[in-house]
Amino acid sequence: MNISQKNKDNFFNLVDSLKKCRRADLSDVSKNKDVIEKLYVDPLDNDLILKSISKLNTTILTGRRGTGKSTIIARLQHDIRKSNDRLSLYIDVKSIFEQSKAFSYSADKYIGHFSPQDLKKYLIYKSFLKEIISEVKSELKTNTLKFYLAKITNYFGPDKTAFEEELNRIFDDIEKFEYMDVEVIKQKKVLSNEENSNFVNQKIGANVSVDSSGPHGGFNAEHGTSNTDKSSLNEEFSEVLLKCFNPILIMRSIRELLKKIGINHVFICLDDFSEIDYEAMKIFVDVMIAPLNNLSDEFFKFKIAAYPGRIYLGDIDPQKIEQIRLDFYELYQAKTITDVHSQAQGSIKKLIEKRTQFFCKKTPDEFFDTTKVAMDDYYKALFDITSCVPRNVGWILWYANQQSIAKDKKITFNDLSIAAEKHFSDTVKPYFSQNQFMREPFDMKLEKYHLHQLLERFIDSAKINKREILVSDSKVFAKDKTKPPTSHFYINKKLEHVLKPLEMQFFITKYNEQKDQDSSELMSFFSLNYG
């Protein structure tokens, strides 16, 4: 068959839009300012995720890479821009943290207070918080002047300069008192880990005994060493930086300014939150997020995109925030696993249908070979391959496109299988080659080598099961001779945390929980990556 060049280009743009990994990229696919509204597909019916994240509370979206966290935040911001009393600020946490590593502070002013290693860390954290505040200022200025200009001129007069000057004054003290923390450090006498890691302590004890000659007493002293917990220094960092930046005072001033122009709520959207290390996240939460979130007036609320197992809440009460989990097993609640899978497949169907209509003005069956296989079977296959992760759907279709549409052929099951293997080899498997960009859970229990060995054991067992099923006379497997169901396994739920790094990198995916009939212990079921 012949597929027109226009349709080839449109389909390429479709799959390219799905595999994009930066939220700003969506604006590249169309000049239409409402493109996010036209392309957005909520994971739940009736836009329940969007409605939930729009509530006046702090919300954490957790999900593996590509589950749609940034897209949901972009859709939220699109709606907020249409409101008349809400403002959203977007902060790319990862980018700002990377920029902060090239700090401009003079290390000379801190000599004698930190070891060189601890000083470098401290100045990175200080620079990071300063850049966050600077980005808040930039976002405030840009978004208020863009979406609230009429109210600004109504209150401050036709010249918006008065508003800008008042906004600048709020942040001036950060520049004026750039090294105020040095005095705070001197007062607190903060010691570095190296200087304070070992100290001599005396244990003085008394002993008393009684014998025939009467009571006897004495004292003894022991000298020993005690290791200082590394977290204590980070707590000192947080305390110093909290006094240095005083975010509550800054934000209260911002609140008073914004209320003058009719803004009653500000949503601070933190993207790529889990891309920073634990110590930086802890300081960020303790110094800025928790104090602002816990203010009683509900003016500032956070919308945070995070990875499972890579989030720190500090003093934030988990019961007072909403956590939305986007991986399909935790997202779709149903009585049976079949119903869960059905909902996930339905989400993929809506995603592909909407993108195909937007980019190609056609239905999906124009690009998939349905002479022998129904479209619903393709949706099921895409679910099995991608675990209902939108970005992975994009990558699978991108690889499949090379073997099909680009060569004037429709996509077949075989194309999807080849694409799954290619995606696994190119994207998933490199985790074991020490890729520095692969993020892992904070409480990782096993090293990569042992995780690799464990995964190989699962795969070897699956191969053995497959061979045995093929020659088995059991009626249980009578219908599965051509494709034995050996891609799944289960473990005791108590051991599930050990496998989290493998799940986070898409080697495995959790898909069910069920009680064991013999022991009544809860078991977690996983599937191996289709590739």
Q: Does pLDDT of 436 surpass 70?
A: no
Contacts of 109 (CB under 8 A, 6+ apart): 179, 182
Q: Does pLDDT of 203 surpass 50?
A: no
Beta strands in 240-317 (DSSP E): 265-271, 300-306
Do 110 and 122 contact (CB within 8 A), yes or no? yes
Q: What is the mean pLDDT of the chain?
A: 86
Average pLDDT over residues 291-300: 85
Q: What is the pLDDT of residue 204?
A: 36
DSSP state of 285: I
Q: What is the pLDDT of residue 174?
A: 75
Q: Does pLDDT of 147 surpass 60?
A: yes
pLDDT band at residue 435, thresholds of 50, 70 and 90?
low
CA pair distance 151, 263, nearest whole angstrom: 10
Average pLDDT over residues 242-264: 91
Element (H, E) at 280: helix 278-284
From residue 208, give the alpha-carbon distance in Å to each of 211, 215, 354. Answer: 10, 7, 84
Q: Does pLDDT of 212 surpass 70?
A: no
Place of tokens 């836009």: 47
CA pair distance 505, 425, nearest whole angstrom: 13
Q: Does pLDDT of 10 surpass 70?
A: yes
Q: Does pLDDT of 266 surpass 60?
A: yes
Q: What is the pLDDT of residue 16?
A: 93
Q: Does pLDDT of 37 surpass 70?
A: yes
pLDDT band at residue 173, thresholds of 50, 70 and 90?
confident
Structure tokens at 57: 């509370």
CA pair distance 243, 184, nearest whole angstrom: 8
Q: Does pLDDT of 27 surpass 60?
A: no
Average pLDDT over residues 20-24: 64
pLDDT band at residue 43, thresholds of 50, 70 and 90?
very high
Q: Does pLDDT of 347 surpass 80?
A: yes
Structure tokens at 193: 């880990």
- Quote the percentage of the chain above a pLDDT of 90: 61
**What is the chain's length?**
531
What are the pLDDT digits (tens) for 464-474?
988 888 888 88
Q: Does pLDDT of 490 surpass 60?
A: yes
pLDDT band at residue 450, thresholds of 50, 70 and 90?
very high
Centre a 10 Å sphere on the Cβ of residue 506 and count the other Cβ atoms it contains.
23
Average pLDDT over residues 52-59: 95
Q: Which amino acid is at 37?
A: E
CA pair distance 78, 64, nearest whole angstrom: 23
On the 0-12 / 13-18 / 19+ scale of CB atoms within 10 A, 491 is middle
pLDDT band at residue 28, thresholds of 50, 70 and 90?
low
Average pLDDT over residues 411-423: 96
Q: Does pLDDT of 207 surpass 90?
A: no
Q: Does pLDDT of 24 surpass 60?
A: no
Nearest residue to 301 via CA among 318, 289, 283, 319: 289
Average pLDDT over residues 439-460: 88
Residue ranges and CATH numbers for the domains of the chain are 1-37+334-435 (no CATH), 44-191+229-325 (3.40.50), 193-227 (no CATH), 443-531 (3.30.1370)
